[in-house]
Amino acid sequence: MDKLRAIQYFLAAARDGSLSRAARRLDVSVPAVAKLISALEGELDAKLFDRTPRGLALTADGERYLAVCEGVVERLAAVEHSLGRGGERPRGSVVVEVPPLMARFWILPALPGFHQRCPEVQIELRLIDRSTITDVDASGCDICVVLGWPDALDMVVRQIARMRLLVCATPAYWARHGLPQRPAELARHTAFLVRNPKGVLLDYWRYRRGDEEEAVKLSGWLVSDHRDTVLDAVLAGEGIGRFADLSIQHLLRDGQLEPVLLDWETPDDPPVNLLHRSLARGSGATRAVVEFLEAELKRLEACRHAPLAAAGDDGRPVWYRRAYGRASSTGD
């Protein structure tokens, strides 16, 4: 058995969720993919996939093996890259899709430093305000930064950080209306709310503190499908909003926004995922940008305003699976 090719076929099948799609992308026959994956399972004495009517689903062993294989293939690609290019500086164009708030307050301030280190890399920055990336979206980009739980597609998906959702308002607003001591008290405040890309109004905020759990349904006179609009409305001092902490760090640091309920955990905290083409096939420029984005997230996390609770399971709230409606109608 060609072990490396079997691993490549396994990675393709895991990312595509289908033997036939993996075979088309690899330009081989379906039986060839199935035969090598079966041989790999036999050698490992482990079942890597469950076959379902909807396609392939990784088993627990498959998930563990996938994580190891991706790291091994990428390290091998890095060695091949260094041998083949002899330390040549990365060059080329890289298309990066990123949410507007993260571009404005995280990536753009750090880009001049990256340009000084990699002057021959050109970045095309595209703004996306959604957590679901489709194959159509991905076809024109090299790297996607996604806040939330992206669907699987033909890209490597790695979680590089977690956000903490903070309820914030201006100090002047809190001075007029009083600081809430418990989540339930948020209901008497005017909330500027976000409708997510699937059409769900995020009007239901959950909290946990030790054995205590509280959830509150919010209302207000402004709803937007664009987080920048909600942020601007909150900064005007007329209401409260909820934002991912790493995207508003400078506003917290400068005192323009004041967070509350920091002693309560928010179980719906979304992950930050980095999606990119396989670095085994990618350019040195793509690798350089991936490393830059990962390093910047680590730097931001080290400076975060409030501690983050320990990660749970998937953490995906019930409303995330819905299209349209209100989060409050799910009770989650």
pLDDT bucket at 4, cuts 50 / 70 / 90: confident
Question: How high is the pLDDT of residue 218?
Answer: 94
Residue with tokens 């950080």, as numbered in its chain: 161
Query: In this prediction, what percent of the chain has a pLDDT beyond 90?
Result: 32
DSSP 107: I
Amino acid at 174: W
pLDDT exceeds 60 at position 85: no
**Contact (Cβ atoms closer than 8 angstroms) between residue 188 and residue 218:** no
The reply to whether the predicted model has a pTM over 0.85 is no
DSSP 25: H
pLDDT exceeds 70 at position 217: yes
**Contact (Cβ atoms closer than 8 angstroms) between residue 79 and residue 42:** no
**Contact (Cβ atoms closer than 8 angstroms) between residue 231 and residue 286:** no
pLDDT exceeds 60 at position 18: yes
Say whether both 154 and 93 belong to one domain: yes
Rg over CA atoms, the chain: 22
Which range among 32-46, 78-92, 104-118, 206-220 shows the weakest confidence by mean pLDDT? 78-92
Residue range of the domain that includes 183: 165-269+307-329
Tell me the pLDDT tens digit for each residue of 52-69. Answer: 777 788 898 988 888 888
Averaged pLDDT, 152-171: 82
Tell me the range of 33-37, 76-80, 179-183 where mean pLDDT is highest: 179-183
Question: How high is the pLDDT of residue 186?
Answer: 97
- In angstroms, the CA 159 to CA 199 distance is 24
pLDDT bucket at 72, cuts 50 / 70 / 90: confident
- Of 34, 58, 82, which residue sits at a domain end? 82
Q: Which two tokens stand for residue 221?
A: 């006179």
Q: Among 196, 116, 114, which Cα is nearest to 148's?
A: 196
Say whether both 10 and 151 belong to one domain: no
- Of 46, 65, 82, which residue sits at a domain end? 82
Say whether both 39 and 183 belong to one domain: no
Say whether both 313 and 213 belong to one domain: yes
**How much helix, strand and coil, in percent to the nearest 5, is found in the chain?**
45, 25, 35
pLDDT exceeds 80 at position 153: no
Say whether both 217 and 312 belong to one domain: yes
* Domain total in the chain: 3
Question: How high is the pLDDT of residue 82?
Answer: 57
pLDDT exceeds 70 at position 207: yes
Averaged pLDDT, 274-292: 78
Q: Among 156, 138, 13, which Cα is nearest to 71's?
A: 156
Say whether both 243 and 94 belong to one domain: no
Question: How high is the pLDDT of residue 299?
Answer: 81
Say whether both 318 and 188 belong to one domain: yes
Tell me the pLDDT tens digit for each residue of 225-281. Answer: 888 899 999 999 999 999 988 888 889 989 999 999 999 998 888 888 888 876 655
CATH number, domain of 105, equals 3.40.190.10
Q: Quick one: CA torsion of 146, 151, 153, 155, rounded to 10 degrees?
A: 30
Which range among 140-149, 160-169, 314-323 shows the weakest confidence by mean pLDDT? 314-323
Main-chain phi, psi angles of 205, to 5 degrees: -110, 125
